[in-house]
Amino acid sequence: MINKILVANRGEIAVRILRACKELGIQTVAVYSDADKNAQHVQYAEEAVHIGAASARESYLNAEVLIQAALDSKADAIHPGYGFLSESASFAGMVESAGLIFIGPSAESIHLMGDKAESKIRMKKAGVPTVPGVEEIESLGDFERAAEKIGYPVLVKASAGGGGKGMRIVWEVNDLSEEIQAAKREALHAFGDDRLLIEKYVANAHHIEFQIFGDRHGNLVHLFERECSVQRRHQKIIEETPSLQLTPGLREEMGKAAVAAAKAVNYYNAGTIEFIVDPDTHNFYFLEMNTRLQVEHPVTELVTGLDLVHWQIWIANGEQFPFDQAHFTQRGHAIECRIYAEDPANGFLPSTGRLLQYVEPRGPGIRVDSGFVAGDNVTHFYDPLLAKMIVHAEDRPSAIQRMQAALKDFIVHGVVTNIDFLQTVLSHPDFQNGKVTTRWVEQNMETLMESANSLVETQKQSIGLHIIAAALADVAIPNPQSKIENEPDPYSPWKAANGFRMGGTHG
């Protein structure tokens, strides 16, 4: 029986899971590194345990310390969230060996699916279509021969990988050696394992994944698709459901393949089967399975009405999943935008700093899952995801409009964000017509940035308003550089202006 859960994660997903625990009346334990002493997830939990230095390897990736923290705080279960140790079979095994419940699939399922090479071999056996490629090779010569046979461009990726880490597209034989070395190093740092596999790079494909969910008693369903083709650096930035690409027939076919894939590894709890779909032929191929809760799970929650984290906890508790496939329909349309502290004009590189202002939008059909408030620091130690904004509306056009309006009300100062870039994508005809494939951002980067810049230049009026506001703020607020002890933001000119009504008192 689960009465107390330790959440072995940080940021928005830790807050989201802690919130679910509170809703179910389950006691909560958070963990934190040196960099996260005052983080939102720590403040949100009833207990918090310090687990080590800021570097993830010395804290959120330290399995022994996390399990000891759970035992010391008398937790019954550990929820791993996503990233960090969520897809580590050995961690799941250690949790179970310590007499605790791992909220997720079995260590065996994680192991089978976690290895991209082994899972591909298994999927082929289960009759699930896979991308042409070669697994279990090592020497540069083998990779060269494999690439030659498959045909460039090829993708080399970490066997142990996920989340775009340790993955490189190679366009010609001359680059193969250097890209393999880079992928190996990244894979070693991210996963402690530098084995790679190679496969055909399907250049203009849609990334469409299926949420699956099952219990320990053999019940397993899919919860429809998520279209995740808007990506930069192989990482998703906008996800939605339903996908414009899928006809009811194709949806049913892919859903069946997803269920077959999960059943092939005796899967239970929440998982995701990723496919790539060729927009011309509508052929689909198994890419990989993510054996955890996904970043983008909220869009599925909004159209199915299910709370996936609640069900993860109940399933981990041994309960039956009472719904069959026929129970589920997709209601309306949901879109998620990931709000990253990153600079699209600077190669999407992360932007760090203190959040001088942070205001989230509110309104009907708007959900924001976040792990930050104003005054928090965004450091270079962890993923720069600030928040996820998810909207739900009756159809796709209204969902896009709702997202566009809500993004305008999302105020972040202190770090550069991708909010303007998201707006540029949302208003682009290719996005509106569902034509965006996984390389679209990369292929259109120049025109996307141009349109963002020209907007600034041609709208002199708009930049004029910004300048006027900046000038008025400077003169109207007395003593802008005053520094007051214990002020959460020492550089804010606003401390002296709380509730200050402007009159004619300035000089």
Partner 1 sequence: MKLNFDHQGQSISVDLTPSGKSFRLDVDGETVEAQILQAKDGKLDLLIDGKRVTAYVSSDHTRRWVTVNGRTLLFNKSSGGRRSSSGHQHAAGELTAPMPGQIRAVNVSEGDTVSKGQTLLLLEAMKMEIRVQAPRDGVVKKLFVQQGQTVEREQLLVEIEEL
**Residues engaged in binding partner 1 (CB under 8 A):** 56, 165, 178, 182, 185-186, 189-190, 233, 346-347, 349-354, 356-357, 359, 380-384, 407-414, 416-417, 419-420, 423, 455-456, 462-477, 480, 491-494, 497-504, 506
Task: Report in angstroms how near the CB of residue 233 gets to partner 1 at its nearest.
Answer: 8
Q: Considering the complex, state which of residue 233 and residue 439 has its C-beta at the smaller distance from partner 1.
A: 233
Q: Considering the complex, state which of residue 140 and residue 359 has its C-beta at the smaller distance from partner 1.
A: 359
Which CA distances in Å does 252 have to 222, 224, 246?
10, 9, 9
Rounded CA separation 475/257 (Å): 64
Structure tokens at 279: 């927009």
DSSP letters of 404-416?
Answer: HHHHHT-EEESS-
To which H or E segment does residue 475 belong?
A: helix 460-476
Rounded CA separation 371/388 (Å): 9
Q: Considering the complex, state which of residue 121 and residue 140 has its C-beta at the smaller distance from partner 1.
A: 140
Q: Considering the complex, state which of residue 211 and residue 417 has its C-beta at the smaller distance from partner 1.
A: 417
Q: Considering the complex, state which of residue 183 and residue 436 has its C-beta at the smaller distance from partner 1.
A: 183
Task: Report in angstroms how near the CB of residue 351 gets to partner 1 at its nearest.
Answer: 8
Which is the catalytic residue, given 168, 195, 226, 292? 292
Task: Report in angstroms how near the CB of residue 132 gets to partner 1 at its nearest.
Answer: 27
DSSP letters of 49-111?
Answer: EEEE-SSGGGTTT-HHHHHHHHHHTT-SEEE--SSTTTT-HHHHHHHHHTT-EESSS-HHHHH
Whether 354 is catalytic is: no
Q: Among candidates 284, 230, 292, which has minimal Cα distance to 436?
A: 230
Which CA distances in Å does 443 have to 342, 437, 495?
19, 10, 45
Q: Considering the complex, state which of residue 328 and residue 421 has its C-beta at the smaller distance from partner 1.
A: 421
Rounded CA separation 172/176 (Å): 7
Q: What's the angle, vertex CA 161, arms to CA 158 and CA 167, rounded to 5?
A: 50
Rounded CA separation 312/310 (Å): 5
DSSP assignment, residue 130? B
Rounded CA separation 410/263 (Å): 41
DSSP assignment, residue 322? -
Q: Considering the complex, state which of residue 320 and residue 401 has its C-beta at the smaller distance from partner 1.
A: 401
Check: CB of residue 212 under 8 Å from CB of residue 221: yes
The CA-to-CA distance between both ends of the chain, in Å, stands at 68
The catalytic site residues sit at 292
